Amino acid sequence: MFRYLLVLLTFASVTLTQHARAMDDLLIDGVPLPADASIAVPVASPTDIQQRWSGVWVGAWGGSRKHILLVESVGADGAARVVYAIGAGPPGAQRGWSRPQALAAGRTLKVTGAGFSATYEMTEDGALKAEFKRGGSTSRAHMAKADLASLRNPDAVVAWTRGKSEFLQTDFVEHGKPVRLEVVIFKPSGAGPFPLAVINHGSTGGGRNPALFTETRVATDLADFLNERGWMVAFPQRRGRGKSDGLYDEGFAENRSLGYICADITLRGADRALSDIESAITALQRRQDVAPTPLLIGGISRGGILSVAYAGRHPAQVFGVINFVGGWLGDGCPVAGTVNQTLFERGAAYPRPTIWLYGRNDRFYSIPHSRDNFAAFEKAGGRGAFYEFDMPPGQGHFVAGHPDRWSDPIDRYLKSLGP
């Protein structure tokens, strides 16, 4: 049900700031840097490691939590002075920065902070493949080198991911104004046109924090996986989400400050969301770089159940369906079983196999609840395979952030569907 976070909740307990954020800190699109942040002037004869690592990189953990790594200086022995900075994340995880221990060796730099580590591998083009670890939790980021002076510009536009944010024109009109939907597109290498994969986002926790509505949601691990297999991957943001126009209205209580409603009428919100997805797909399929072939559709949490329902409504359009931890209402809601099964049963009209991927220790959708949903889907005539994965306590909802779990099953699934 609730907001999916590819940036794991364990970030909430990582101490990043050495102090409360000072008023004179720099703020780079929501990510703070210390006012004295700088890059050391190169020495007369810098070593290879000093030349390679001095600089600043930008990226986003899991595709959503903004991150800056600033390497201020590197000693001849590889000991580095760095600033590790992140933007705000899950509820309780504030933005901040620290100067943790760091060591560079060849094309690898490792940062060790309070209860976490981050490892950065430099690619041939000077970008970084980054991996964050805390306990049993892992998140990843692709980071691009940036110019610190440009980042200091108040009007700086920061490319936090390699996906490109664009706007889709729709037929929706609200308050007399046309509605555009934001979409973030990740393209594979090559000239195209490419087969299209559409990945749908989830909700926003309890729906009580409007600041979360404006955060654009992508899943970079999944985008990378599908790009490698030739798919162009699009992440549409539904009305009122991310930078999309319009009102976010997917099953709220009459008093919106109370968040999402636990009642059957929440299905109206699901219908509204499905209309948004249909409008986004219609616009995407008009693009010259999109091949005129059936699309792959998938999603996380609410995006997962919507993808299954969409395939049942438009079976001829859909090549395959990937459902990560899908559901509309968390199983703590008394009507969750009825609502979730109703939506999944709509997808049973889709004649091809689907794939369902769930984690144990999901605080929103227990495995028994999700297996009941799958059984109802199959009883209604749906076809699919249900996978459940071991996950750390409380982390079952974040399977999509663990490609080591799902890469092989999804690879086999896609191959089983044919070219």
- What 3-state class would DSSP assign to 56? strand
Q: Is the peptide bond before 292 cis (omega within 30 degrees of 0)?
A: no
Q: What is the pLDDT of residue 94?
A: 84
CATH code of the domain made up of 9-151: 2.40.128
Q: In what helix (H) or strand (E) does residue 284 lie, and over which residues does it extend?
A: helix 267-284
Domain 9-151 and domain 164-416 have a common topology: no
Highest mean pLDDT among 33-47, 149-163, 246-260: 246-260
Q: What is the pLDDT of residue 29?
A: 85
Q: In what helix (H) or strand (E) does residue 197 lie, and over which residues does it extend?
A: strand 196-200
Residue 20, pLDDT > 50, answer no
| C-alpha to C-alpha distances, 362 to 2, 181, 358, 386, 399, nearest whole angstrom | 11, 30, 8, 15, 9
Q: What is the pLDDT of residue 40?
A: 87
- Asked if residues 184 and 164 have their Cβ atoms less than 8 Å apart, the reply is yes
- Asked if residues 2 and 398 have their Cβ atoms less than 8 Å apart, the reply is no
End-to-end CA distance of the chain: 33
Q: Are strands 108-112 and 117-122 parallel, antiparallel or unpaired?
A: antiparallel
The candidate with the shortest Cα–Cα distance to 280, out of 244, 232, 326, is: 244
HSE (CB half, 13 Å, CA atoms) of 240?
17
Mean pLDDT over the full length of the chain: 90
Q: In what helix (H) or strand (E) does residue 374 lie, and over which residues does it extend?
A: helix 367-379
Q: What is the pLDDT of residue 6?
A: 38
Selected residue with higher pLDDT from 20 and 157: 157
Q: What is the pLDDT of residue 92?
A: 57
For the chain, percent of residues with pLDDT exceeding 70 = 93
Rounded CA gap, 127 and 84, in Å? Answer: 17
Residue 25 pLDDT class (50, 70, 90 cuts): confident
Render pLDDT for 91-132 as a digit per residue (tens, 0 to 9).
557 889 999 999 999 999 999 998 899 999 999 989 999 999
Q: What is the residue extent of each domain of the chain?
A: 9-151, 164-416
Rounded CA gap, 305 and 298, in Å? Answer: 9
Residue 181, pLDDT > 60, answer yes
The residues facing 320 across adjacent strands are 296
Residue 302 pLDDT class (50, 70, 90 cuts): very high
- Asked if residues 196 and 160 have their Cβ atoms less than 8 Å apart, the reply is no
**In 229-371, which ranges are E strands?**
232-236, 295-300, 318-324, 354-359
Render pLDDT for 358-396 as a digit per residue (tens, 0 to 9).
999 999 999 999 999 999 999 999 999 999 999 988 889
- Asked if residues 248 and 216 have their Cβ atoms less than 8 Å apart, the reply is no
83 Cβ contact list (under 8 Å, min separation 6): 33, 34, 37, 68, 69, 70, 72, 97, 98, 99
Residue 194, pLDDT > 90, answer yes
| C-alpha to C-alpha distances, 140 to 62, 345, 382, nearest whole angstrom | 5, 34, 34
Task: Please indicate, yes or no, whether the overall pTM of this predicted structure exceeds 0.85.
Answer: no
Residue 409, pLDDT > 80, answer yes
320 Cβ contact list (under 8 Å, min separation 6): 296, 297, 352, 353, 354, 355, 413, 414, 417
- What 3-state class would DSSP assign to 227? helix
Residue 83, pLDDT > 80, answer yes
Residues 164-416, CATH architecture: 3-Layer(aba) Sandwich (3.40)
Residue 214 pLDDT class (50, 70, 90 cuts): confident
- Asked if residues 251 and 324 have their Cβ atoms less than 8 Å apart, the reply is no
Q: What number is the average pLDDT over the span 294-298?
A: 98
Least confident span in 137-146, 165-174, 261-270, 337-346: 137-146
